[in-house]
Amino acid sequence: MRLLSVLVLHGPNLNLLGQREPGIYGRVTLDEINRSLEQEGQALQVKISTLQSNHEGALVDAIHAAQGHHQGILINAGAYTHTSVALRDAIAAVNLPTVEVHLSNIYRREEFRYHSFIAPVAVGQISGFGPESYRLGLHALVHHLQQLPAT
């Protein structure tokens, strides 16, 4: 089995997890999610790199820089999911398998959240399971990557 590396991107306001609207997003902090993903990555023998930014351009730059360093991307783009053609285009440009995740079920919320610019260029989308969405997304992405022919 080849050693895989996954870039985990967290979008705007996710740095406030644990205190931001806990009725929707829960009490788990972003640091706790990242530690959990790193532990899960060790169990899966996958290197996990994480980045959170409130700035769209920083996320685009990270997606560009992922090419040649990571085999896949796990992304919770937060509000940029529903607004950012730039993130969508960056993911399409680097052509790295990407799984989109959300803590809340975006389809049970405000109607403007129903549309994702990222979903059409992602392998899949997982939402509504709180922090477990990240773990499920990581497993789905790793499974997908392991099915690809070795390069």
Mean pLDDT per 10-residue segment, the chain (151 residues): 88 93 84 97 97 98 98 97 97 98 85 88 96 98 93 61
Positions annotated as catalytic residues are: 25, 102
Residues making up the annotated binding site for substrate are 76, 82, 89, 103-104, 113
pLDDT at 73: 98
Q: What is the chain's alpha carbon radius of gyration, rounded to the nearest angstrom?
A: 14
Q: What is the pLDDT of residue 25?
A: 78
Class of the domain covering 4-147: alpha beta
The full DSSP string for 101-145 is: EESS-GGGS-GGGG--SSGGGSSEEEESSTTHHHHHHHHHHHHHH
- Report the alpha-carbon distance of residue 86 to residue 109 in Å, rounded: 24
Please report, as a single letter, which amino acid is at residue 68: G
CB atoms within 10 A of CB 74: 28
- The pLDDT, as a whole number, for residue 2 is 64
Residue 151: predicted pLDDT: 61
Among positive and negative, which fits the CA dihedral 4, 9, 14, 15? Answer: positive
Residue with tokens 């992405």: 141
Enumerate the known binding-site residues: 76, 82, 89, 103-104, 113
